[in-house]
Amino acid sequence: GQNIDQPTEMTATEGAIVQINCTYQTSGFNGLFWYQQHAGEAPTFLSYNVLDGLEEKGRFSSFLSRSKGYSYLLLKELQMKDSASYLCAVRGNQGGKLIFGQGTELSVKP
């Protein structure tokens, strides 16, 4: 079967760093994705990892370990606007469709 796990919710303080973990078990692997979704809005693309290691993009970084079936999204210098749901998704070996985790609801407090 296919399974993607991430924490349901997290809380962090403005200006701090937060790490959102994602573990996956899928039939085939062809990339791991992180999307951000504000309440009532469409998901927007944050990052893509297909090789092991860290991808950095401004305040956001994403890490992948394929052997461990593990990824994390690191958010630095948290801002109030970072309060959102963060979705981890995996593309398997069946075309472009994504299998999503349930999402992690991040609340940033002052």
Partner 1 sequence: GAGVSQSPSNKVTEKGKDVELRCDPISGHTALYWYRQSLGQGLEFLIYFQGNSAPDKSGLPSDRFSAERTGGSVSTLTIQRTQQEDSAVYLCASSPDFVSYEQYFGPGTRLTVT
Q: Quick one: how many helices (H) and strands (E) in the chain?
A: 0, 11
Q: Which of 12, 43, 78, 108 binds partner 1 (CB under 8 A)?
A: 43
Q: Which is nearer to partner 1, 3 or 13 (CB)?
A: 3
Is 64 an interacting residue with respect to partner 1 (CB under 8 A)? no
Q: Which of 45, 51, 53, 81 binds partner 1 (CB under 8 A)?
A: 45
60 in Cβ contact with 73 (< 8 Å): yes
Q: Which is nearer to partner 1, 5 or 77 (CB)?
A: 5
Q: Which of 81, 93, 97, 110 binds partner 1 (CB under 8 A)?
A: 97
d(Cα 104, Cα 97) in Å, to the nearest integer?
Answer: 20
Q: In what order do the strands lie in the sheet with 3-5?
A: 3-5, 18-25, 70-75, 60-65, 53-57
Considering the complex, what minimum distance in angstroms separates the CB of residue 108 from partner 1? 19
Q: Which of 19, 65, 102, 107 binds partner 1 (CB under 8 A)?
A: 102
d(Cα 50, Cα 2) in Å, to the nearest integer?
Answer: 18
